[in-house]
Chains A and B, each alone.
Chain A
Amino acid sequence: MSDKPAVACSGLSCVFMGGVSALQDVSFRLPAGGLTAIIGPSGCGKTTLLRIAAGLERATSGSIQFLREDGSTQPLRAGRLTVCFQEARLLPWRTVIDNVALPLELAGVDRRQRRARADAVIQAAGLDGTQRRLPAQLSGGMRMRVALARTLVTNPAVLLLDEPCSSVDEFTRMQLDEEIRRVWQVSGATTLLVTHSVSEAVFLADSIIIMKRAQVHCTHVVSLAQGNRDRTTLEFSREVEQVMRALAHAAGVVTR
């Protein structure tokens, strides 16, 4: 997995016009090929962080960069980076296969090749049979799967996921979590997952960054082995409990 680069975020701050300070001196590391979750209350700057990483927003100061093994850095935008947003963001007039193939199309891959690749990704995602459907003909969960398939099609080195499960029900969320894990493992990408859900973070992440009002509150390393995580076990519940405790502390809520 270490052919993928690590990511270093150092001293990142972002002040929006109008004076809202969305990020204040945020620093962390994403280990190469790992899955790191960010969790925190809404408005604490998670999306802003992800957008700066993707180059869609500018930091006021600080940086988020690839970290090479020799210690040199490189802007994230220069590498293969993909984002899966909170919404699926599919082109409504394009079929599933043409939506999934879009990043390849924009990269100049010829039609036959990109369709073959998109088709393979779609089949692997369990979406076989939907290739020629339009997004409006799919459920919300299915659309999200298509969006995930689209991030996978370019074989990304860095994968940024912004609450991909926030608009689906609990049942669909569990299924999507399995899919996210698969996407992460197949791509081997260094992954950052923004989420609202503690159990989702514990289910998927190697470590969890807990944010509080524009700052990193603490980082929790998940002690459960990857590939052996079951939401119904006691160990899982204990892990969730620990993260909950840290969250409560961040929120200033008193716990027993």
Chain B
Amino acid sequence: MNRAAQNIRAVVAPVVAVLVILAGWQAAVIATGVSPFLLPRPTVIAETMWQSRALLFDATLRTATAALAGFAIASAVGVIAGSLIAALPILRRSLYPLATILQMVPLVAVAPLLVIWFGFGLPTAIAASAVVAVFPVLASTIDGLRSVDPGLREIFALAHASPWTRWRKLDLPASVPAIVTGLRIAAGLAVIGAIVGEFVSGYGGSHAPLGIVVMTAMREARTDLVFGAVALCASVGFFLFGVVSTLGWLLARRWHPSAQDEMEIRK
């Protein structure tokens, strides 16, 4: 089977699964007559989403901004800090265990602290997003850098290359597949972090992000709107994950044996 057909299958299968689940849901709600307050029909949710499209579009944009900014900060900080920790044994011994422990602190518990530091609003959402997304990037960067082939390092040592040159031309490229893996995990976490940040920082008013839309709709007992906002939260995560995966694949394909076969064929 060729790659194009494989790709189509990879897209079609989950789409069909989602449609089947939605149809089953719709049928179950109609059959059981369960209250729309507990479980609204998918068609009603869709209708609500359409009616509140201006509000939801605005909210999605805000949440996506927070998640994207948080992800960008986490990526930069994770790769830079990871490189320093991997390069300097002192940092590796002191900071890395600390980072591992800090990672165990639940974000929800830290979030109020972020409000104190960053105030009510977007900065807190960005900070919360960055805080949860940074660790997988950090860990995978350190992992990637530490598993660089020592034989290749000797090639650079023989050429008297500086640590900076070696980092740019060997360590970082060699770690690309590992870092991309970390970034993909971070993409999902960045959205979760942004929404938790929105929950605690409670900003918005007329320009509410998705986290606030969910909370407000819950208080107003508008379950259909809760579902609609949650669906959009998921799609922001899905979008970010998709973008990172695609970019990561484009970046890392030279490293990947299967991509090399493909390049071979194309020649």
Contact = CB atoms under 8 A, between A and B. Distances in A.
B151 interface: yes
A174 interface: no
Interface string B174-202: 10100000000000000000000000000
Contact of A93 (B158, B161, B165, B173): B173
A89 B260 contact: no
- Which bracket fits the contact residues of A? 20 to 34
A83 B155 CA distance: 8
Contacts of B169: 102, 105-106
A103 B165 CA distance: 12
Q: Is the interface of B mostly helix, strand, loop or mixed?
A: helix
A189 to B, nearest CB: 15
A194 B158 CA distance: 18
A103 B176 CA distance: 22
Interface string B239-267: 00000000000000011010010011000
A91 B170 CA distance: 8
A83 B158 contact: yes
Interface string B36-69: 0000000000000000000000000000000000
A49 to B, nearest CB: 16
A85 B158 CA distance: 12
A91 B158 contact: no
A134 B256 CA distance: 11
Given A106-B165, A137-B260, A91 B173 contact: yes
Nearest to A81: B158
Contact of A106 (B156, B254, B255): B156
Contacts of A81: 158
A45 to B, nearest CB: 18
A136 B260 CA distance: 7
Indicate the member of B155, B161, B255 with the most A CB atoms within 10 Å.
B155
B173 A134 contact: no
A102 B154 CA distance: 13
Interface of B: 149, 151-152, 154-161, 165, 169-170, 173-174, 176, 254-255, 257, 260, 263-264
Interface of A: 54-56, 81-83, 85, 87, 89, 91-93, 102-103, 105-107, 134, 136-137
List the 8 shortest-distance A-B pairs measured between CB atoms, nearest first.
Answer: A106-B159, A93-B254, A136-B260, A89-B151, A106-B161, A137-B264, A103-B159, A93-B173
